[in-house]
Structures are given as C-alpha cells and as structure tokens.
Structure 1
Amino acid sequence: MSENAKWYVIHTYSGYENAVKTSIEKFVNGRGMEDMILRMEIPVETVKEVSESGEAKEVERKVFPGYVLIKMVMTDDTWHLVRNVRGVTGFVGTANKPIPLTEEEVLAMGMEKHEIVVGYNVGDHVRIVDGPLASFTGVVEDIEPEKNQVSVMVSMFGRETPVELELDQVEVLN
C-alpha cells in the first residue's frame, strides 16, 4: 500500500502544527497504521533575528504557519483519522477531496530527494538522450551533482559548443 502514498497538506489552527503532528503520530501507532501514514513534516527555516539591543540570534521559523505536510495513502479511514484530530481544520483541496502535491512541488520543498547515479566522469564520451539535442554526442567537461547539472562539449555545425544539461539527460557511450 505504501507505494500509493502521496504528500498532502493539512490545514491547522495557527500554532497547533506540532500538537496536530503529535496527535496523528499517536493515533497511527495506536491503530497500527504505519503503512498508511508514513511521514509528517512541519517545514522550518533558520533565520537570524536582531533584537533591539543589537544581539543577533538564530531562530527556527515555520515556512508555512498553519500547515502540516503528510505523506499518506488516502482512504476513508486515513481521511477520517486526520480530519478528526483536534486542531485540524481540513485538507487543502476541494470540499471533501484533498489534492495531493505534485512531484515538482515535493522536490521544490525538499521533502524528498531523488538520487541520480552518475555513470560517467569528466572526459567521458556521452550521448544526449533527452531534450532538443537528443542523439548528439559530446565530451563531459564538468559535473555538478548538487545542481543536477553536467556540462558537455558538443560539436555542432563544425564548432565545439558547451551545453548545460541535467544529469539524467546523458548516458555514457559504449
């Protein structure tokens, strides 16, 4: 069942985010629903606040006050469990139909990371397999895994041209 899990957004009373998360975790453990409700997150960011006296201190601030992100398999039971927790006002979506986050939204929030295994190195000959330059070949100039980018020197119209691509858009030539 857990492969059907999607990320949803729960709307809560402001300031109740942690209480809602704790309550749902207790219900899930008590009812043995760990395979249905997999994860909950309250996204926070660390910011520096300067007091009136000039002292700077780092403070964690909620990115989305009044919201909790939850990865779950949506069924009538899980919907009722979450919906009936004290402090929950509902799911983000239409009346009784929660709308899951898209994969792009989940990745942009940093909730989940897709690990790409790079099977090539700088200097390797590669073929572009996706995008407008698909089927072109070139030589890897630079790899930046943290940015999901690879620079490839491609020969186009008799000229060497550097091209920036995503890591999964190229494959090593055999």
Structure 2
Amino acid sequence: MTDEHATPEPAAEDSAPAVDTTNESTEAPSNFEWYVLKVQSNREKSIKASLERSIKREGLEEYFGEIVIPTQKIKENKNGKPRVVEHKLFPGYIMAHMELNDETWYLVRDTTGVGDFTGAAGKPIPMQPHEVAAMLGTDLPQGTSQPEPLTKIDFEVGEMVKIKEGGFEGFEGTIDGIDEHSGRISVLVEVFGRSTPVELEHWQAEKV
C-alpha cells in the first residue's frame, strides 16, 4: 500500500511546476490588447501624461504597456528651409496597450479628457493586428527601424504647373504623379507635339 502511493507522488511533483511555469509565461502577454481611446482633440499629449500619472498613482502598471499618440513625420519647407515635423494621424484618438478589467476600465474612463473606448454597444473592441501595424508603422521591411518622413507636396494629380528650374524651365504641364517618399513629381509637358513625362523635385515647379 505504502509503495503504491509513494510511486506516483514524485511524478506529480515533477510535472506540476512545468505546467504552472508554462501558464505564467503565456497568459500575461495574451491578456494585453491594443485599444483606441476617444479623447479631446488638441489635448492628446496632456491626456496621455495624465493617464500615465493615474496608472502609477493607482499602482496598476502591471496592466498597462505603451500609451501612444499615432503620428507621422512630414518633410516641409518653411521660409525656404526644410524641416521635419510630426503630424497626428488621428486627431482626437490615442492608443493604449493594456489588459482590460474593471480596474483599468474605470481608471481610463475617469481620466479627464478621455471620452470612451472605441467599440460597439458600449463594449470596448481591441484592434486587429493589421490595424495596430498600420497605425504604429510596424509593418515595415525587415531591418527598418522607422518609416522615412513623407514630403509635404502641395500639388494634386491633374493640376497645371509651370517648371521654374532645370532643362524644361518655363514649360507648363500637368501633374501626372506624386511621390511623397522621394519628394518628386512627374509632369507631362508638350514636346514636339507629344506629351512627355518629366521627373522633377517638387520645388522645381509652381502652380499656374
């Protein structure tokens, strides 16, 4: 009797810790989801800071990850000088990586400036992975740390422009293509009775 009971006990002791450890390592990450919060427009930064202070004050750091204001870097020319500025992609919204439970739900909702979670019928709905990747810029080629700033180009396809520099200076044509990544435009100009595409830097043309 004693031997029969003694034999299975070591096996149970050996297997139990392995199961517990596995559960601890997989459950915590799976509880975190990305949620979108509706907030007062033009106050995104102060509301983000207020939310982060509330999380620390209530001791709920274990239930929150990043709080993010989705932005995009844009290259602009101001007074003839190039500069890179950050533009908010979705004014009036911030993203929170968190575990949703009663405590975190009330903390977020009670933060001044936060309207509500986005969702349906009053129920917060987490974002899908492809939505998160698009908003955070994580769907990038391998080895790329962050997206290159886009160039703000104040033209539209089909718009008439006049070339002010380069080999076609003085020619007028129609915008055929715009590449905000390279800052270049394609203009169709009339050369010997034929429409010819000319590649230019966006600053080499002006509106007619």
TM-score normalised to the size of structure 2?
0.51
Corresponding residue SS for 1:64 = coil
| Partner in structure 2 of residue 60 of structure 1 | 86
Assess, with a 3 A threshold, how the Cα gap between structure 1 residues 38 and 111 changes in structure 2: closer, same or farther. farther
For 1:11 and 1:110, how far apart are their aligned partners in 2? 17
Instruction: Select the residue among 82, 96, 107 that pairs with 1:81.
Output: 107
Alpha carbons 1:2, 1:38 under 8 Å: kept: no
Unaligned runs of 5+ in 2: 1-26, 145-208
For 1:108 and 1:18, how far apart are their aligned partners in 2? 21
Assess, with a 3 A threshold, how the Cα gap between structure 1 residues 81 and 58 changes in structure 2: closer, same or farther. same
| Partner in structure 2 of residue 12 of structure 1 | 39
1:90 corresponds to 2:128: no
| Partner in structure 2 of residue 110 of structure 1 | 136
Find the structure with the greater CA-based Rg.
Answer: 2
Alpha carbons 2:70, 2:136 under 8 Å: kept: no
| Aligned sequence identity (%) | 37
Corresponding residue SS for 2:62 = coil
Query: Cα distance, 1:73 vs. partner?
Result: 0.7
1:42 corresponds to 2:31: no
For 2:81 and 2:64, how far apart are their aligned partners in 1? 42
Regions of 4+ moved over 6 Å = none
Assess, with a 3 A threshold, how the Cα gap between structure 1 residues 111 and 37 changes in structure 2: closer, same or farther. farther
Assess, with a 3 A threshold, how the Cα gap between structure 1 residues 112 and 57 changes in structure 2: closer, same or farther. closer
Assess, with a 3 A threshold, how the Cα gap between structure 1 residues 45 and 2 changes in structure 2: closer, same or farther. same
* Higher RCO structure, 1 or 2 (CA under 8 Å, sep 6+): 1
RMSD between superposed Cα atoms in Å: 2.4
Alpha carbons 1:2, 1:36 under 8 Å: kept: no
TM-score normalised to the size of structure 1?
0.60
Deviations 1:68-117 (A, max 9, x none): 0001111111111101111111111124211100112122333667xxxx
Name the structure where helix makes up a greater proportion of residues.
2
Assess, with a 3 A threshold, how the Cα gap between structure 1 residues 111 and 91 changes in structure 2: closer, same or farther. farther
Alpha carbons 2:34, 2:96 under 8 Å: kept: yes
Alpha carbons 1:45, 1:61 under 8 Å: kept: yes
